[in-house]
Chains A and B, each alone.
Chain A
């Protein structure tokens, strides 16, 4: 296994944290703080695009690239490494984090209470998420996974609205509970005789976890990990923290939460549940699909009933993240050969949903800023007052319901292509969820942006340049991926091929 230290990923991961310390100690004046934060976020975006751009997915390219490694904890008791690296699965997600990180910083431009703290927490959060996507050592992975908690808690509870403290605490308790299960599983994997390592590269090669004399049954390990990731994703019935957290979070936190934090759950399922326990994953694929379909349908139905703009988007996330599970469930094919389409669709869904929901939350945040309400029946006719915001939300909405030519279409088609071979009827049900999506998105747009113009919104202004900028970045990403999806699917394909190869041959 290659070792070494190229430094690129270390810089990408820790640049925001270094920027946060710099802002905390040296920068004076709110305006300067904003400018420095944007500069840090831009620099980090450049680094992530470098990682994504330089990532090679040719025939003879290494699976994991940009390895940064040194011994972190020596000795007999733990033996962990500082080990960063990306493969085809994580490289696009690292780029996603860079894009949304910049959007979140730009979206916080108008924050005027406790400015310094806000940007510090936001940047620390970015380091944590970036670390999760690029750690290849289980202990380091967990380290970053937990590092994300405190910044998010602070962002929601200080700069949020409504029942912000309740929501923040709920988010915290759910996540800690999930990571507690995960920690038990990580320890059990490490202690399994013949394993004795936290190195995810070694753990995800054929047979490491299959033949070992296990400490806990493989099925138990699979579910312990799964609960941790399912809370994050979130999967019905563990999703209840999400609507509260989203509704009451400030715009920047919503963007990060929906855009990248949920993706940590999906990434974990792909990387660990499927990548390290392929046999178990195939065995339990029916359960994953069931949970996925219930999330899709339940999320969509509940979304239809929402009257709060942000709560609506939050529930639609539950529905769309259900599709990730449906795609992963495609590995349960009982006849025919397994293709990587379903997994690729799940991974694509992670990326596209990140950009789409990020855009939706940016728009919803602007609407709330300008009109001081998120109650949809109170809105109406806003399209004439704020055309830029309306256009952004419309594009995001169309992408979200899977309009061809936009990014959401690609991932949904791939998910259904993959899953249909394995579970035709549940997949058909899930497709129905997309029909419902068209319903709630269009209905929301109609009620909030079209229809009669209200007198009290007469002096509502459209988004300013600085507010429109993050929306523009996301629109470009959504349209770009929609028109030229193989820029992502090829990379995902490259990363998923070794994972698919591990899944045992179908049982007749």
Chain B
């Protein structure tokens, strides 16, 4: 480990050390009001370091490959700092920053552990940022745990029975899925003799691994078992059971963070593992992903219809959106027309996934910030308590309506373009059935999203809730809302960023 390695992981280190610092400050100072801003300042440092790395990358594909640290360095082979990881690091940082600001009111009403709240958020974000860079199975596993465990603690943070149930469920299901994933990693290591993704890729290509007894199948089983772990994190069917309970019970800002950043980071590592490690057997796992995508979209949307609690509804909605994202991943591969019949990489598929994640982050954060603001006014998350919101808080109602319209995928919002590129990719890769299923699912989803709009605009208001929202929460809401519309009207910049990021992944 040398200085250059430190530079490479400095954004992650900045976030982690900010977390420690916030907890220490919480111990020392009596007045806690400045803690979120301290956390925010730490994020700005990390952001600055990311910008430096981005500039440094000019021309090169991966900062690690041309290090003077050599093959023996700590980072060698275990982490990559390329445009792909930077894209996700920016995304995670942006989500974390906004969530931190929107948590200010929320946390200040909690009696204890305010410092720990921000500390845990920052630790989890560290794990996510590492996930985006991880190129080696053990590192992936550790980063994944670093992401999950703080979130489990945060889910239980309110210490109400629902919150505790949420935390417990998250912890146990997370533990089971990561155990299964670990087993898959062990299988893969057994058959390929390596935990490095690039070496695994070579081994998978060579005939030797496939000629072992059950070799080809064992590899596939290994991949499937790993998918269990990733599927849990991105909340895809059939690993979605925890989602509605946690969305309902955990603190709302934590849910916002979970639904956006955690999903993005898990998708990042899923893409890296599948596309750099197991691309030679892509045709096998791609069809599996396509089936998972279809199941997630359909089940999520159907289950969301009957919900009366807006956060449970968003839990099912996020399952459906995981499905749309998986459509894009499945569309990253198509059978080549050549005689050998191997898989062919379709960059549009992954471009669309990256774009969709950013679009979804903007829209979902906007929706959740509005939900947080409303629940602070009314103290309720029931959809029926949104009655007449347009009368009580017109701005909030309009912003939440825009977010809901975005989640349906109607222009002029970010997710419209996101769905457009995702379904384009699916059609291009020959998955026309999946594109049509996805489009029909979007139509179905309109039903339950519009129902909320209906309640807000058409039903007479009930009793007034008093307390207002702080300027920082307004700020977070405005920033994410502007991003949501801005990406929808002028998507060029994010599309280009996604293209560049994917370009770095597949040479």
Contact = CB atoms under 8 A, between A and B. Distances in A.
Contact of A180 (B442, B491, B498): B442
A149 B412 CA distance: 12
A158 interface: yes
Interface stretch (B47-55, B173-181, B235-243, B446-454): B446-454
A76 B499 contact: yes
Contacts of B352: 77
A484 interface: no
Interface in A121-166: 139, 142-143, 146-147, 149-150, 153-154, 157-158, 165
Q: Select the residue from A76, A77, A153 with max chain B CB neighbours within 10 A.
A: A77
Interface string B419-435: 01101100110001001
Contact of B410 (A73, A74, A75, A149): A149
Given A77-B499, A142-B411, A147-B411, A177 B436 contact: no
Interface in A157-190: 157-158, 165, 169, 172-173, 176-177, 180-181, 183-184, 187-188, 190
Contacts of A302: none
Given A149-B410, A187-B427, A77 B348 contact: yes
B153 interface: no
A191 interface: yes
B492 A165 contact: no
A215 interface: yes
A356 to B, nearest CB: 31
A158 B405 contact: no
Interface in B376-405: 401, 405
Contacts of A181: 439
B443 A176 contact: yes
B85 interface: no
A392 B458 CA distance: 34
B278 interface: no
A191 to B, nearest CB: 5
A78 interface: yes
A184 B495 contact: no
A78 B447 contact: no
Interface string B281-300: 00000000000000000000
A172 B446 contact: yes
Interface in A275-324: none
B426 to A, nearest CB: 9
Interface string A55-79: 0000000000000000011111110
B207 interface: no
A209 to B, nearest CB: 16
A210 interface: no
A184 B499 contact: no
Contact of B446 (A139, A173, A184): A173
Contact of B499 (A75, A150, A187): A75
B417 interface: yes
A173 B447 contact: yes
Interface residues of B, number: 38
Contacts of A215: 427-428
A382 B454 CA distance: 37
Interface string A173-217: 100110011011001101100000000000000000000000110
Contacts of A146: 410-411, 416
A188 B495 contact: no
Contacts of A74: 492, 496
Contacts of B417: 73, 78
B496 A184 contact: no
Contact of B454 (A72, A165, A177, A187): A165
Nearest to A142: B411
B457 interface: yes
A147 B428 CA distance: 27
A73 B495 contact: yes
Nearest to A74: B492
Contacts of B447: 169, 173
Contact of A143 (B355, B412, B439, B490): B412
Interface string B321-349: 00000000000000000000000000010
B443 A150 contact: no
Contact of B439 (A77, A180, A216): A180
B440 A77 contact: no
A143 B411 CA distance: 6
A190 B424 CA distance: 9
B287 to A, nearest CB: 20
A170 to B, nearest CB: 11
Contacts of A75: 492, 495-496, 499
Contacts of B457: 154, 157-158
Contacts of B428: 191, 215
A231 to B, nearest CB: 12
Interface string B344-375: 00001001100100000000000000000000
A326 B229 CA distance: 58
Given A157-B458, A172-B450, A180-B443, A77 B351 contact: yes
Contacts of A73: 417, 490-492, 495
Contacts of B424: 77-78, 187, 190-191
Contacts of B411: 142-143, 146-147
9 contacts: A77-B352, A77-B421, A146-B410, A173-B446, A176-B410, A177-B440, A183-B423, A184-B423, A184-B432
Interface of B: 348, 351-352, 355, 401, 405, 408, 410-412, 416-417, 420-421, 423-424, 427-428, 432, 435-436, 439-440, 442-443, 446-447, 450, 454, 457-458, 490-492, 495-496, 498-499
